[in-house]
Amino acid sequence: MKITDVKVIPANSFLFVKVFTDEGIYGVGESGDWGFLMSSGEAIESFKTYLIGQDPLQIEHHWQYMYRCFHFRGAAVMGALSAIDIALWDITGKYYGVPVYQLLGGKCRDKVRTYYHVSGSTTEELVESCVKAKEAGYNAVGHLSPFLDEPRSKPYFETYAHMIDDAADRIRQVREAVGDDVDLCLELHRRLKPSEAIAFGHAVEKYTPYFLEDPCTPDNFDSMALIANRINVPIATGERIHTPQEFEMLLERNAVAYVRTSVCVCGGITGARKIAAIAEAHNAQIVPHNPLSPISTAACLQVAASIENFAIQELPDHNTVSATERYTSSNKIQNTNFKQSDMVTWVPTVEHGFANLPTAPGIGADLIPDVDKKYPFNRRTINTRLHIDGSIVDQ
């Protein structure tokens, strides 16, 4: 079997790839370089010049070739590699007639615990969103911002006291509303300095968060380690880094307890498995990052099913617009009839907070025909929040 073509498919707010073979089997994948997807598409076009004529079943060899060929990396390149890697695993599963997790050693679990995205631009909206998630059967909620999901068009200012105390009090209100039957995965969106994150960690500890995600910018691993070693709430981070070596440096510093592998940007299924093995050696658990389409979800579930040190899976609402569009727009998204689930052949069902595993060969999900024509691609605009004084705010 040989690869005959590699096609980049931008559709709606996502970037997909299809890898075709001379035996009629094709595979689909997705890039997670969501801010700069077309740059990832160009990297796929470059990798295509190598892939044509290759045996698609030699996945590890192709991963190493693409990872090491040009000596330069970054999210665009790793997103391209990830999309191709997922597509190659999809082909291999279809070739052997089994789900990908069977090729990875089989299932470690029969279903996958998930957390549901919640949000609110006011405390009342945030609490209501968490209550609705519990009523829908979820036992964990995530993307839960103690600092609210305010429009990026709104200039930001709070005193330090209000910033810390009001955020902690919101989590108190959420905890009282949902009780201890729901775990709270707090998303801090890199908006605190290390000293602020330490203060917030102590203030919120009594409400038993599952973890604090990205309390500060992830660029300096020592800063993340400082926070982790000064608070009693576990740290989750990793969605913005790309290589096994970077995760090793985080883990060696005891800077992370829950590793946020972005399957569509950390090297695909192959890369995520490498990172999971490193995390297992450090007694850390994996929480796959997934603000993307149902194709990403299907790939994430293959990883979640097949690694022992999996903790919980981020699961966006696939019955609406993309999570990245909802949480980075200037104002509230207009209600539309669009559903991500209309773009694909399969999405997981969730019962009591646990997602069912795909059972079809490959990753278990496919794109509908002509998805790019039915859902034309929308380039994301640059949209960063500003402080009231005009400086940049991380949100």
Last residue of a domain, one of 100, 115, 149: 100
Set 289, 318, 352, 387: catalytic member: 289
Mean pLDDT for the stretch of residues 18-35: 96
List alpha helices for the chain, DSSP H: 37-51, 59-68, 75-96, 100-103, 123-135, 160-178, 194-204, 221-228, 244-252, 268-281, 294-306, 323-328, 371-374
Do 239 and 109 lie in one domain? The reply is yes
Instruction: Based on the fold, state whether residues 223 and 345 are members of the same structural domain.
Output: yes
**CB count in 10 Å sphere of residue 70:** 11
Instruction: Examine the pLDDT at 333 and tell me if it is beyond 90.
Output: no
Give Cα 180 to chain centroid, integer Å: 25
Could you tell me if 193 and 69 lie in one domain?
A: no
Percentage above 70 pLDDT, the chain:
97
* Lowest mean pLDDT across 32-36, 203-207, 261-265: 32-36
The tokens 């207009």 sit on which residue? 334
- Model confidence band, residue 208 (pLDDT cutoffs 50, 70, 90): very high
Residue 58 lies in a domain: yes
Q: How confident is the model at residue 387 (pLDDT cuts 50, 70, 90)?
A: very high
What is d(CA 100, CA 93) in angstroms, rounded to the nearest whole number?
A: 5
pLDDT for the residue numbered 373? 97
Residues 88, 29 share a domain: yes
49 and 127 fall within a common domain = no
Q: Do 131 and 15 have their domain in common? A: no
Q: Which residue is catalytic, options 62, 189, 242, 318?
A: 189
Please give the average per-residue pLDDT across 221-237, as a whole number.
Answer: 98
Residue 379 lies in a domain: no
Whether residues 121 and 86 fall in one domain: no
CATH of the domain at 57: 3.30.390.10
Do residues 144 and 62 share a domain?
A: no
Q: Identify the CATH number of the domain in which residue 300 sits.
A: 3.20.20.120
What pLDDT is stored for residue 328 in this prediction?
A: 65
Q: Is 189 a catalytic residue?
A: yes
Which residues have a Cβ under 8 Å from the Cβ of 82 and sit 6 or more positions away?
29, 30, 31, 32, 262, 263, 264, 265, 266, 267, 268, 271
Q: Is residue 380 in some structural domain?
A: no
Count structural domains, the chain: 2
The whole-angstrom separation of Cα 261 and Cα 271 is 9
Chain segment 74-125, per-residue pLDDT in tens: 999 999 999 999 999 999 999 999 999 999 999 999 999 999 999 999 999 9
Q: Is residue 387 part of a domain?
A: no
Alpha carbon distance 306, 273 (integer Å):
9
Say whether both 201 and 339 belong to one domain: yes
Kindly state whether residues 130 and 163 are assigned to the same domain: yes
pLDDT at position 379: 87
Quick check: is 42 in a domain? Answer: yes
Angle at 314 (CA atoms; ends 290, 263), nearest 5 degrees: 35
H/E stretch holding 143 reads strand 140-144
**Measured between alpha carbons, how far is 10 from 17 in angstroms, rounded to an integer?**
8
278 and 218 fall within a common domain: yes
Residue 336 banded pLDDT, cuts 50, 70, 90: low
Quote the tokens at residue 66. 């693409």
Q: How confident is the prediction for the chain on average, in pLDDT? A: 95
Q: What pLDDT score does 175 carry? A: 98
Domain co-membership, 123 together with 146: yes
Average the pLDDT over each of 52-56, 286-290, 319-323 and give the range with the smallest value. 319-323
Spatial contact of 25 and 390, defined as CB atoms under 8 Å apart: no
**Any long-range contacts for 22-25 (C-beta under 8 Å, 24+ apart)?**
23/95, 25/1, 25/91, 25/94, 25/95
Q: Is a pLDDT exceeding 60 seen at residue 334? A: no
Poorest-confidence range of 27-36, 72-81, 208-217, 330-339? Answer: 330-339
Domain span at residue 316 reads 103-359
pLDDT surpasses 90 at 354: yes
